[in-house]
Amino acid sequence: MPTSSSDYTLGERICKARDIAGLSTAQLARRLGIKTATLHSWESDRSEPRSNKLVLLAGVLNVSPTWLLVGRGAPPVAEEQTTADIDNMRVALDRVQRHAQALADEIAVLQERLNGS
């Protein structure tokens, strides 16, 4: 299993950066002005982008061309979470906490019943 960015192939780095950018292959291909099949070929290491597309790809993915080519330099970083993402996480956390409390209450009742027997 790769341990650093330089252990990945060019295709793996493109795929990783695309995932972190939150783009589908179709979305990234559209932004680059290429066919989705071409991007699939790059990501599966069947072909490599020309230098002009590599520079454009790096810009769209917010990484350096050097990182894409050889894995040296700053790796891609996920964008900050939006307010909506944070609100959704708070709602989910609240729901899980209420469920956990209900389970804790049920456990306490069952323990009392067992201890009372």
Return the closest-CA partner of residue 64 out of 74, 52, 49: 74
CB distance 32 to 57 below 8 Å: yes
pLDDT digits (tens, 9 = 90+) for 10-32: 999 999 999 998 899 999 999 99
Same domain, yes or no: 94 and 48 = no
Same domain, yes or no: 49 and 28 = yes
Same domain, yes or no: 9 and 54 = yes
Q: Which domain holds residue 17?
A: 5-70
List own/partner pairs for 35-39 with CB under 8 A and 24 or more apart. 39/14
CATH number of the domain at 30, please: 1.10.260.40
Burial 30-49 (b: 16+ CB within 10 A, else e): eebebeeebbebbbeeeeeb
Same domain, yes or no: 61 and 38 = yes
pTM of the complete model: 0.64
Question: 31 lies in a domain?
Answer: yes
pLDDT digits (tens, 9 = 90+) for 82-104: 677 778 888 889 999 999 999 99
Question: 76 lies in a domain?
Answer: no
Question: 75 lies in a domain?
Answer: no
